[in-house]
Amino acid sequence: MSADTLGAPSQRPPAREGGGILIAGVVLAVLGVAAITFPYLATFAVEIIIAALITASGFVQLQQAFAMRRAPRAFWRGVTGLLWLAAGVIFLIAPAVGAVSLTLLVAALIGADGVLRLALGLRMRGRDGDWIWLVLAGVLSLALALLIAVGLPETAYWAIGLLLGVTLVIDGAALILARRSLAEASAHPAEPGAA
């Protein structure tokens, strides 16, 4: 009786198990290339999606405030809902405003990440030989954040789309490579008892 019949996981994954991984990887890579090729379109697509989510959040909060109108916090929930709704509508009506706001937020996040990496790298100096890579990553993140922030409002039209595209290409490539590793593991199963 084999281990598979007893319910233990098989050492050899089925070859077709990774088909979905490969398809997802290819789709992400193609979308990433499209976003890099058309960063303006990708930026505004992201902005519209976020604007729609903000608007929907405002509607939900207003509905909750109305449903609990006798509760002590209902007024403030309604005010918050109106603010979210107004922000979402502004982003939908004037997508350039939304793109600038989102790009400024992204630049701030990249800058904060850079500061943290730089601080961690400098703190690790002398204890770990790889500290220089953290410092370098921190400096590059700070430079990117500064480049994006200084270039506003022009960078708002392409930065989010370009960053999204690069991320999608990297994620797609990672999935394609993971599928390849799965196929190789399936073709060359580990010997029983070898660990």
Residue 31: predicted pLDDT: 96
pLDDT of 13 over the 70 cut: no
* Domain count for the chain: 1
pLDDT band (50, 70, 90) for residue 2: very low
Q: Is residue 5 part of a domain?
A: no
DSSP label of 182: H
Q: Is residue 16 part of a domain?
A: no
Q: Is residue 12 part of a domain?
A: no
Residue 142, domain extent: 21-185
pLDDT over 90 percentage in the chain: 66
Q: Is residue 66 part of a domain?
A: yes
Which contacts qualify for 87-94: CB closer than 8 Å, 24 or more apart?
Answer: 87/54, 87/58, 88/51, 88/52, 88/53, 88/54, 88/55, 88/56, 88/57, 88/58, 89/55, 91/47, 91/48, 91/50, 91/51, 91/54, 91/55, 92/48, 92/51, 92/52, 92/55
Q: Is residue 128 part of a domain?
A: yes
pLDDT over 70 percentage in the chain: 87
Q: Is residue 42 part of a domain?
A: yes
Q: Integer distance in angstroms from the first to the last C-alpha of the chain?
A: 21
∠ CA 186-191-195, nearest 5°, is: 100
| Distant-in-sequence, close-in-space partners of 39: CB < 8 Å, separation ≥ 6 | 157, 158, 159, 160, 161, 162, 165
Q: Is residue 59 part of a domain?
A: yes
pTM: 0.71
Q: Is residue 6 part of a domain?
A: no
